[in-house]
Amino acid sequence: METKNNLRAWIYLAPLLILMGIFTFYPLINAFIISFYKDYLPISGTASGLTLNNFSYVFRNQLFWASIKNTFVIAFVSVPVSIIISLFISVALKNIPKLKGFFQTVFFLPYVTNAIAIGMAFAFLFHQDYGLFNVILGWFGVDGINWIGGTSSWIAQMSALLVYTVWSGLAFKILVFTSGMQNIDKQYYDAAKIDSASKWTVFKRITVPLLSPLILYISITSMIGALKAYNSVIGLFGTQLGAQPYSMITIVAFVMDISINYLKFLILVTPLRPQSFFL
């Protein structure tokens, strides 16, 4: 009986496993193998041998280490901050049931808006001369900061990018957390009222523990999304990827840049003077 159930389970899983094998596992394994090829030609799929120069070229490239630093700062700063803010906003929405639907729609709009368009809007908001953020700083007597201009510092650029990343990541998290709180049994909150527990105690002892599976899910998916950051950088800083060229480059942007340069090399240089790109 157990063997029959196992066979039935594998039959049910077979379509998904086949699709994952074709579109996930095979490309990953194939890309790992190709990384050892020398003078690989994508169109014909041919190579002149095996080499480790591909890896040494990447590790010697300063843009690679800059992309690692930028990507990890984005991931390990924006994800925790956005989760904390979205949790508090979700709790606040729960306490205003009459307008909850309206505010949910408002907060969810960034999720269905093109990331490049939002990035361009934030580039306007961070403009040194007439951007909203510098206008607000001016109210407190603080001089305008050059956030994304031609001479802006790495800290200013990263701060602007983190603000945009946190804001754009709130929409989906708020929707998930508000939906999750609707499934929490009200008897827990009723018991807390009887015990005269404070709102902070209810949040810390009831809401957060019961939402912990969703928090874990959001943390994992948000971390994956942050490690793939690209559209936000393009929208905010343009194709130069920063005030100083490539100062805000991410891992995905680095891969795209290497791929484009390699294709240009194959098309323009190789026919005239055969040589290896990864020297």
| pLDDT tens column, 143-166 | 888 888 777 788 888 998 999 999
Predicted local confidence at residue 185, as pLDDT: 86
In a 10 Å sphere around its CB, with 0-12 CB exposed, 13-18 middle and 19+ buried, how is residue 255 labelled? middle
Mean pLDDT of 205-215: 90
d(CA 243, CA 45): 38
Please give the radius of gyration of the chain, using alpha carbons only, rounded to the nearest integer: 25
The string over 259-277, giving b where at least 16 C-beta atoms fall within 10 Å of a residue's C-beta and e elsewhere, is: eeeeeeebeeeeeeeeeeb
Pair 11, 75 in one domain: no
Element (H, E) at 49: strand 49-50
66 and 131 inside one domain:
yes
Alpha helices in 38-153 (DSSP H): 53-60, 62-94, 100-108, 115-125, 132-139
Inter-CA distances, 131 with 134, 143, 155, 200, Å: 6, 12, 18, 36
Domains contained in the chain, number: 2
Q: Copy the structure tokens of residue 134.
A: 């510098």
Task: Give the angle 189-194-91 at the CA atoms, nearest 5°.
Answer: 30
Specify whether the CB–CB gap between 93 and 174 falls below 8 A. yes
Whether residue 275 is contained in a domain is answered as no
The torsion defined by the Cα of 113, 116, 226 and 19, in degrees rounded to 10, comes to 70
Q: How confident is the model at residue 276, as a pLDDT?
A: 63
User: Is there a domain that residue 75 lies in?
Assistant: yes
Residue 13's pLDDT is what?
87
Please choose, from the candidates 48, 69, 28, 68, the residue with its C-alpha nearest in 3D space to the C-alpha of residue 278.
48
Which has more pLDDT, 118 or 220? Answer: 220
Instruction: Please report the pLDDT score of residue 273 as a whole number.
Output: 53
End-to-end Cα spacing for the chain: 60
* pTM strictly above 0.85: no
Residue 45 pLDDT exceeds 80: no
- Give the pLDDT band of residue 19 (cuts 50, 70, 90): very high
Is beta strand 37-38 parallel, antiparallel or unpaired with respect to 49-50?
antiparallel
Average pLDDT of the chain? 84
Q: Are residues 145 and 241 in the same domain?
A: yes
Is 272 contained in some domain?
Answer: no
Residue 272: pLDDT band (50, 70, 90) is low
Predicted pLDDT of residue 39:
79
DSSP-derived secondary structure letter, 272? T
Q: Does position 2 have pLDDT exceeding 70, yes or no?
A: no
pLDDT of residue 85: 93
CATH number, domain at 212?
A: 1.10.3720.10
- Specify the residue for token string 């804001």: 167
Q: What is the rounded CA–CA span in Å between residue 43 and residue 71?
A: 31
Closest of 130, 125, 211, 217 to residue 168, by C-alpha = 125
Do 237 and 109 reside in the same domain of the chain? yes
The amino acid occupying position 19 is: L
Sign of torsion over alpha carbons 22, 24, 29, 32 = positive
Which residue, 245, 241, 257, 259, is CA-closest to 74?
A: 241
pLDDT above 90 covers a percentage of the chain that reads: 21
Domain check: are 2 and 138 in the same one? no
Q: Which residues are bridge partners to 37 per DSSP?
A: 50
- Could you list the residue range(s) of the whole structural domain that residue 202 is in? 62-263
Give yes or no: residues 66 and 150 share one domain. Answer: yes
In a domain, 57, yes or no: no
Q: How far apart are CA 250 and CA 229, in angstroms?
A: 7
Q: Say yes or no to pLDDT of 271 above 70.
A: no
